[in-house]
Amino acid sequence: MVLGSTRLTPVNFGLLRGTNKRIALMPQWDFLTLLAEEAKSLPNFHLLMGTTAEAVTRSGTTVTGVQATGPEGPLHITAALSVAADGRDSTLRKSAGLHPIARGVPIDVLWFRLPTPTSAPPDTLGYLTLLATCATAP
């Protein structure tokens, strides 16, 4: 993390296992906005607001989409990738037969691969800027 102009290392991520030792922390709503904004450029991406996903659909053991209800009524959505963002008590996770392991930590982890940039910035947990304010008595 960078505090003012001083770089601090409060956490050693070198202890992470695997070849990709990078972590990004962000609120879920920011991550979902990022996914939606980036996906808009894909020709087959559709974001359905006001739609409730109720169950995954399958072909054998492969999840092929979801059953949902939208403003216009019931929907069957076929997709190569379905992202369930329906919270800790996820209906879709239960429908898919996935069982989370409770660790007593209020943070969820999404693990995925990204290409390494040719010119990577220095590792940083966060940037903090110190602001000084002066008040004068009336």
Q: Note the pLDDT of residue 138.
A: 47
- Tens-place pLDDT, residues 76-87: 999 888 877 777
Q: Which two tokens stand for residue 122?
A: 């220095």
Q: Which two tokens stand for residue 7?
A: 């770089």
User: Structure pTM?
Assistant: 0.50
- Tens-place pLDDT, residues 12-57: 666 777 676 666 777 878 888 888 898 889 888 888 888 998 999 9
Mean pLDDT of 117-127: 69
Q: SS3 of 90, please?
A: coil
> What is the C-alpha to C-alpha distance for residues 68 and 50, in angstroms, rounded to an integer?
10
Cβ-contact 106, 112 below 8 angstroms: no
- Tens-place pLDDT, residues 60-71: 989 999 999 999
